[in-house]
Amino acid sequence: MVRLTVVAACSLRQFALDYEGNTDRIIESIRQAKAAGARLRVGPELEVSGYSCNDHFLEPDLYLHTMEMLARILSDESCNGILLDIGLPVSHRNVNYNCRVICLDGKILFIRPKMQRVHADSLDYREMRWFTPWTRQTQWEDFHLPKMLQKLQGSTHVPFGDCVISTPDSCFGAETCEEMWSPDAPHIPMTLDGVEIITNSSASHFSLQKLDVRLKLISEATRKCGGVYVYSNVQGCDGERLYFDGCAMILCNGQVLAQSPQFSLNEVDVITATVDLEEVRAYRSSMSRALQAAHSTKKYHRIQTAFELSPDEDDLDSHRRPTLPRELKFHSVEEEVALCAGCYLWDYLARSGSTGYLTPLSGGLDSCATTVSVFSMCRLVISAIEDGNQSVIAVVKRLFGEAPLPKTPHELCNRVLHTIYMGMSQQSSHETRQRAKDLSAAIGSYHVNLDIDSVYHAQKNLVKEALGFEAKFKVEGGTPAENLMLQNIQARTRMVTAYEFAQILPTTRQLAGGGGLLVLGSANVGEALRGYLTKYDCSSADINPIGSIDKADLKRFISWAQVHFEIPCLDDFVTATPTAELEPITEDYVQSDEADMGMTYAELNVFGRLRKERKMGPLSMFQHLVHVWGKDQQEGSEKQEVSLEPAEIAYKVKFFFAQYAITRHKATTLTPALHCNDYSPEDNRFDLRPFLYPSFWRSWSFKRIDRELERIEKARKKSEKS
Ligand SMILES: Nc1ncnc2c1ncn2[C@@H]1O[C@H](COP(=O)(O)OP(=O)(O)OC[C@H]2O[C@@H]([n+]3cccc(C(=O)O)c3)[C@H](O)[C@@H]2O)[C@@H](O)[C@H]1O
Ligand SMILES: Nc1ncnc2c1ncn2[C@@H]1O[C@H](COP(=O)(O)OP(=O)(O)OP(=O)(O)O)[C@@H](O)[C@H]1O
Ligand SMILES: NC(=O)CC[C@H](N)C(=O)O
């Protein structure tokens, strides 16, 4: 026996506060879902307002406008004939909720608010600041419709609460994003109460290799409970540092049936799958499950509708077949960096209305990675143009004016990307200057090669003239203060010069589109964590596509791009020693990042993850690393490359925390960075900490490390004696 139904999940390129654009995309997705024969369409979380409205969620205007947009969808007859699960914020009895409105044929069936304890509120989410969770499981009450909806509804109230929908042939229930991630996930009591289809409306951000976790959670849910899972997500940059990586999915009993692209420039991606509800019933028919279901006390109020999910005529339709399981498509870290940064940069360019980008290109790996991210964007855009993507074409037309549309990524790159090398005769090597030139030539960017010596000397002379003091570099016998001042003149001059050229280049090149260029930053996550950057230098920019990515991943990305983007000169960037080139190069001295920082990029990665993701203070980090990096590694454990004495580890941990505390103030002014890693130290959104610390050297936690070190060394001596 079969009972077939077609369900649809969407990835929509929503944009915070773009009410009309968002509604257009919702209606288009409904149209596409219907055209594919779907009986149920699920959209992303808060799709009408956009997810990242932040404190706008506290404004009554927003609730008015989302209701106006809902009225537009309900009164659009082309949206009839399909069950709709739409995400929007709703104010109920003066309390704001993050809701799903379930509708059919121009009427609301019920409103389901996001539930107790499972509002997204960690890392980069702040939902509890704007929304109140619905705390009463399986309970509901009447929602008083605003006047504009009363007419359409033909009544004044609809149910509001933790209910499910019962159709003549099945039952579906909604959980919202984070709810699935929680140990108390609603899909468990729902499925034990006979709900066969779970819809999930998400705004789930991208971070490297996270898709695997997401998929595991959904497949676990349906493998354990049986059932169909229809997962929808936002796509693109909706106005914040987060990139939402789409990838709508439909699963049945733990197997993937359909997946939309994880990285695409499409406005609307709709996927559908034909599922056999009888397979769900058969999967669930075990005594153990039946006993648990019988014991479950959570019984959901069922909102009845006469609308069938699997009309008989569909089963008789000889064309309709259940969708076969498939493997989910995953990308490697390198591909993820290329695609995510490329898509994000395109959204930023398109939505900011800017004319293009400018990258200060130093010949080092980081600014190379930022530059190649823009080239990746150009590749994605050209392929979207070839696919006839109208929204992309409209933006490219704005950028090209009367000129014909570009045919290659290089042509597009020449129009939108400007690279600028700002050398100093004594400090800049021929190699870095040449690498910058070579990369620009390989990707087609508009390149400027200049020297900033005259500005540097003018600045330096201010001190000489005003104070009668001639500052010297360390290698010339200067003090650390002099050395720093001279380095920072260069670093900050580069920032001013970058903005100057970003402002004027579109005029000198007579570019269409108006306005200036956006300046891109390229400080990586390790440098930000260690504070190895000059405050308000060229690391200060408008947006930083690589700010939450570590050096090792950037290296992998560039090595990958060398092959896949066919840019042979990238090899030179990967093999070069990272250097700031702020101090004069002499016969026996070349400035090096890792020597300056007193730690390696690899160590910074470890410290960063332990500090943020594993929530370790100095003492726990020391204790943990003694196990991981220590000489006495556990038998049977994977042998680590590092093998250090406890005293060396104690020193490294202390040194890291001491430097971190001294330079933490720089995190307050970091350029907004595309979020790719959950250990990003950008304190503006992800990592809320003080920026004025007492000295760690005299701290109680460091004294505790000393005491612990003493204990370890005593224990070791004792065991050596015996
Ligand atoms: N607690 C506090 N709260 C708020 N602000 C505080 C502060 N302490 C210092 N400051 C401010 O911060 C300033 C010190 O920071 P900053 O000016 O960055 O100076 P600083 O960190 O001392 O030096 C920058 C270092 O970054 C290195 N570097 C590495 C790689 C690249 C680049 C580059 O520029 O390309 C530079 C450069 O070699 C140098 O060693 C102080 O002069 C003061 O204005
Ligand atoms: N000679 C230069 N010409 C143009 N831009 C520069 C130059 N030196 C530094 N910059 C810019 O300033 C930023 C910070 O400088 P820094 O020396 O810290 O580089 P970095 O973070 O090590 O990056 P990279 O690996 O690109 O050199 C660089 O990412 C780059 O954008
Ligand atoms: N909007 C949400 O509830 C998202 C939270 C969830 N942890 C995620 O990253 O997907």
Query: Average pLDDT of the chain?
Result: 93
43 pLDDT higher than 80? yes
Measure Cα distances from 184 to 97, 124, 202, 252, 389 in Å: 19, 21, 17, 21, 41
If you average pLDDT over residues 413-437, what whole number do you get? 95
Compute, in angstroms, the gap from residue 560 CA to the centroid of ligand 3: 30
* Cβ-proximal residues to 633 (8 Å cutoff; 6+ apart), any chain: 627, 639, 640, 643
Helix (H, G, I), strand (E, B) or coil at 202: strand
| Distance in angstroms (rounded) separating the CA atoms of residues 84 and 682 | 38
pTM for the structure as a whole: 0.94
Q: What is the mean pLDDT of residues 302-329?
A: 84
Residues of the chain above pLDDT 70, percent:
97
pLDDT digits (tens, 9 = 90+) for 447-481: 999 999 999 999 999 999 999 999 999 999 999 99
Q: Is 233 in the pocket of ligand 2 (CB under 6 A)?
A: no
CA 367, CA 364: separation in Å to the nearest integer? 6
Q: What is the spatial distance between Cα 673 and Cα 81, in angstroms, rounded to a whole number? A: 43
The CA distance from 28 to 75, in Å, is 15
The whole-number pLDDT of residue 523 equals 94
**Integer angstrom CA distances of residue 367 from 78, 207, 447, 521, 651:** 49, 21, 14, 7, 32
- Check pocket membership of 181 for ligand 3, CB cut-off 6 A: yes
pLDDT band at 53 (very low <50, low <70, confident <90, very high): very high
Dist CA 483 CA 486 (whole Å): 5
Residue-wise pLDDT for 168-205, tens only, equals: 999 999 999 999 998 889 999 999 999 999 999 999 99
Q: What per-residue confidence (pLDDT) applies to 290?
A: 75
Spatial distance between the Cα atoms of 45 and 349, rounded to a whole number of angstroms: 24
Q: Is the CB of 678 under 6 A from ligand 3?
A: no
Using the mean position of ligand 3's atoms as its centre, give its distance from the Cα of residue 288 in Å: 31
Whether the pLDDT of residue 286 is over 90: the answer is: no
What is the three-state SS of 445-496?
A: CEEEEEECHHHHHHHHHHHHHHHCCCCCCHHHCCCHHHHHHHHHHHHHHHHH
536: CA distance to ligand 1 center in Å?
9
Q: How far apart are CA 290 and CA 178, in angstroms?
A: 27
Q: What is the pLDDT of residues 212-242, one digit of tens each?
A: 999 999 999 999 889 999 999 999 999 999 9
Which ligand 2 atom is the nearest neighbour of the CA of 523?
A: 21
Q: Which pLDDT does position 633 carry in this prediction?
A: 60
CA distances from 555 to 369, 373, 532, 561 (A): 8, 13, 18, 10
Cβ neighbours, 10 Å, residue 686: 21
For the Cβ of 680 lying below 6 angstroms from any atom of ligand 2, the answer is no
* Nearest atom, ligand 2, residue 541 CA: 31
pLDDT at 288: 73
3-state SS class at 505: helix
Q: CB of 203 closer than 6 A to ligand 3?
A: yes
Ligand 3 near 536 CB (within 6 A):
no
Q: How many CB atoms lie within 10 A of CB 668?
A: 12
Could you tell which of 358, 361, 365, 366 is best to mutate to test the pocket of ligand 2, judged by most ligand atoms within 8 Å of the CB? 366
Distance 258 CA to ligand 3 centre (A): 21
∠ CA 511-513-517, nearest 5°, is 75
Report residues whose beta carbon is within 6 angstroms of any ligand 1 atom.
Answer: 484, 487-488, 491, 532-535, 537-538, 580, 582, 596, 663, 665, 692
Query: Helix 409-416 vs helix 430-443: angle between axes, to the nearest 10 degrees?
Result: 120
Q: Is 364 in the pocket of ligand 2 (CB under 6 A)?
A: yes
Is the ipTM above a cut-off of 0.85?
yes
Question: Could you tell me the distance, in angstroms and rounded to a whole number, from the CA of residue 547 to the centre of ligand 3?
Answer: 21
| Residue 547 pLDDT > 70 | yes
Question: In degrees, to the nearest 5, what angle opens at C-alpha 112 toward C-alphas 111 and 118?
Answer: 155
Residues labelled catalytic: 45, 114, 177, 362
Protein residue with least CA distance to atom 8, ligand 2: 362
